[in-house]
């Protein structure tokens, strides 16, 4: 009986450790509850990127290859509410999406590095909640973006422009 209690205690402790470390990993990986990196520590290029992407839309096209035949480019749009640095090379995009079964704003944490003044998303087999696993190389420069994407056996190219969203019209009361 004492052996059974020890085994149960050991299993319970192991489960608690897995939950604690697993919860920490999920929190760190996806930036859940993270206040982000202190904005005062951002480089000039990082601050410019954050400002450029605040209230911006990525408007462009993407191609789909890998389904037996190439298809003509399709229009796509991602509305970005904000972007914030949440770790050394991790950035959280609060993005409005109408794609892949998602219709609303979702926080997407992705690995991104700066090469000089050029930010580049560098995802390799990265799992995004509700979307799936992707490999992406996407660069941003001034008012444009371009790159490649892969989702399982399907992939393609994407490119477009970065535009500031129109400010909502204010109603005047008389």
CA 169, CA 97: separation in Å to the nearest integer? Answer: 22
What pLDDT, on the 0 to 100 scale, is given for residue 128? 79
Among residues of the chain, what percentage have pLDDT more than 90?
48
**Mean pLDDT confidence for 16-24:** 44
pTM: 0.70
CA 172, CA 72: separation in Å to the nearest integer? Answer: 45
11-20, 95-104, 129-138: least confidently modelled range: 11-20
CB 162 within 8 A of CB 57: yes
What pLDDT, on the 0 to 100 scale, is given for residue 173? 47
CB 129 within 8 A of CB 109: no
53-89 pLDDT per residue, tens: 999 999 999 999 866 556 788 888 889 999 999 999 9
Is the predicted pLDDT of residue 32 greater than 60, yes or no? no
For 66-129, give the DSSP string: SSSS----EEEEEEEEEEEE-SSSEEEEEEEEEETTEEEEEEEEEEEEEETTEEEEEEEEEEET
What pLDDT, on the 0 to 100 scale, is given for residue 73? 86
Is the predicted pLDDT of residue 16 greater than 50, yes or no? no
CB 133 within 8 A of CB 151: yes
Question: What sign for the dihedral angle of Cα 114, 115, 120, 126?
Answer: negative
What pLDDT, on the 0 to 100 scale, is given for residue 167? 67
């Amino acid at each position: 009986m004492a052996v059974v209690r020890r085994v149960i205690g050991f299993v319970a402790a192991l489960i608690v450790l897995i939950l604690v470390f697993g919860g920490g990993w999920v929190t760190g990986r996806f930036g859940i509850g993270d206040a982000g990196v202190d904005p005062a520590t951002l480089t000039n290029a990082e601050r410019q990127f954050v400002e450029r992407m605040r209230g911006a839309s990525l408007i462009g096209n993407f191609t789909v290859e890998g389904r037996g035949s190439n298809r003509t480019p399709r229009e796509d749009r991602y509305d970005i509410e904000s972007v914030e640095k949440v770790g050394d090379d991790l950035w959280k995009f609060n993005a409005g999406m109408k794609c892949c079964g998602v219709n609303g704003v979702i926080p997407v944490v992705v690995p991104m590095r700066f090469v000089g003044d050029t930010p580049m998303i560098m995802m390799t087999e990265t799992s995004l909640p509700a979307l799936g696993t992707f490999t992406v190389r996407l660069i941003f420069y001034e008012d444009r973006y371009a790159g490649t994407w892969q989702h399982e056996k399907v992939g393609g190219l994407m490119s477009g422009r970065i535009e500031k969203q129109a400010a909502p019209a204010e109603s005047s009361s008389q």
